[in-house]
C-alpha cells in the first residue's frame, strides 16, 4: 500500500506551493534537478510535473522551465465567474458595494466549511456589469483560516487571487447548485428588481488545493442580457 514515487513527488511539490515556499510565478527545479533532489529518475520527475500541469497548478514551457501558475484577476474570472455576454465574450464585473462582517457561523455553515468553524467572516457584495447592478453575492469563509481578513476591507475585486496572495490558499475547484427563483427580498432591494423577477440563484462551495472546503458563496444574478456559461464533458 506504499505510494508510487511520482505521487510522492507530486505531494512534495503541492506542499511547497500550499505552504508558500513556492509562491506564484516561482520557477521550479528542472526535471533533472528535481529527480536528483528527491532520488528519482528524470522520467519520474517529469511524470509528476506533467500531472501538476494538467491540474493547472504549474505551467511548463519548452526552453523556459516550469513555473507556479500565477492567478491574475483575468484568469480567475475566466475560471470562476461564468456570467458572459451572449456571444460568450468575457465581461468584467465591477464592484458597487461591499460589507465585511465577522459573526458566528450558522449550523449549516459550520458543517459545510473546513474545520467546522465557530466564527466566520461574511463578505456581502453587489456587482455590476457594464454599469448595471446585476449580481448580489454573499461569501462566507471560516475565520481561523483567514485571520484578520475583516480588517483589510475593502477587499480586491477577485477574492481568489487575494486568498492565494495573502493566505497561500489556492482555490482549485468550485461546486455549484443553480436554481431559477423569484428574486428574494434583500437581493431585489440591492439590485432594484421587482419582487418576483426571475433570477439565477447560485450556491457555491469552493475547495482549495489541499481539498478543504474554504468558502461558501451564494450569488443572486439577474440574467438580463447575460448568460451563465458552462462546458460539460
Partner DNA sequence: GAGTGGTCTAGACCACTTT
Partner DNA sequence: AAGTGGTCTAGACCACTCC
C-alpha cell, 201: 440563484
Three-state SS sequence of 198-216:
EEEEEEEEEEECCCCEEEE
Closest contact distance (angstroms) between CB of 60 and DNA is 4
110 contacts which partner out of DNA, a copy of itself, none, CB within 5 to 8 A by kind?
none
- Map grid coordinates 440591492 to a residue: 190
Q: Choose the contact partner of 175 out of a copy of itself, DNA, none; CB within 5 to 8 A by kind.
A: a copy of itself
**Among positions 19, 33, 90, 108, the unique one binding DNA when judged by CB under 7 A:** 33
Question: Binding segment for DNA among 41-49, 99-107, 156-164, 180-188 (CB under 7 A)?
Answer: 41-49
End-to-end CA distance of the chain: 32
Pick 33 or 90: Cβ nearer DNA = 33
Q: Which does 233 bind (CB under 5 to 8 A by kind): DNA, a copy of itself, none?
A: a copy of itself
Q: CB 204 → a copy of itself: shortest distance, Å?
A: 8
Going residue by residue from 55 to 74, which x/- string records binding to DNA, judged by CB under 7 A?
A: -----xxxxxxx--------
Joined together, the cell numbers standing for residue 49 give: 510535473
27 DSSP assignment: B
What are the angstrom distances between the C-alpha of 95 and each of 34, 79, 132, 197, 216? 43, 18, 11, 22, 19
Nearest to 113, CA basis, from 176, 204, 179, 209: 204
Nearer to a copy of itself, 141 or 193 (CB): 193
Of 126, 55, 129, whose CA–CA distance to 89 is shortest? 129
Which residue from 173, 184, 212, 213 is in contact with a copy of itself, where contact means CB under 8 A?
A: 173
Q: Which residues bind a copy of itself (CB under 8 A)?
A: 54, 56, 79-80, 82, 86, 172-182, 196, 198-200, 203, 221-223, 226-233
Amino acid at each position: 500500500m506504499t505510494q508510487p514515487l511520482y505521487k510522492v513527488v507530486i505531494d512534495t511539490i503541492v506542499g511547497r506551493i500550499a505552504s508558500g515556499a513556492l509562491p506564484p510565478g516561482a520557477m521550479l527545479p528542472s526535471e533533472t534537478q528535481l529527480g536528483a533532489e528527491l532520488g528519482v529518475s528524470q522520467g519520474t520527475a517529469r511524470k509528476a510535473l506533467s500531472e501538476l500541469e494538467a491540474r493547472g497548478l504549474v505551467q511548463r514551457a519548452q526552453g523556459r522551465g516550469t513555473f507556479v501558475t500565477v492567478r491574475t484577476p483575468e484568469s480567475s474570472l475566466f475560471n470562476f465567474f461564468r456570467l458572459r455576454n451572449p456571444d460568450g465574450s468575457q465581461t468584467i464585473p465591477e464592484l458597487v458595494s461591499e460589507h465585511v462582517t465577522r459573526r458566528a457561523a450558522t449550523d449549516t455553515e459550520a458543517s459545510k466549511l473546513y474545520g467546522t468553524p465557530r466564527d466566520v467572516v461574511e463578505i456581502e457584495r453587489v456587482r455590476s456589469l457594464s454599469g448595471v447592478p446585476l449580481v448580489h453575492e454573499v461569501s462566507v469563509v471560516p475565520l481561523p483560516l483567514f485571520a484578520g481578513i475583516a480588517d483589510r476591507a475593502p477587499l480586491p475585486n477577485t477574492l481568489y487571487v487575494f486568498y492565494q496572495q495573502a493566505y497561500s490558499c489556492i482555490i482549485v475547484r468550485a461546486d455549484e447548485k443553480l436554481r431559477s427563483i423569484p428574486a428574494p427580498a434583500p437581493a431585489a432591494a440591492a439590485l432594484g428588481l421587482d419582487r418576483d423577477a426571475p433570477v439565477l440563484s447560485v450556491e457555491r462551495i469552493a475547495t482549495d488545493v489541499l481539498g478543504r472546503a474554504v468558502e461558501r458563496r451564494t450569488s443572486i444574478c439577474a440574467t438580463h442580457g447575460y448568460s451563465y456559461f458552462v462546458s460539460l464533458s
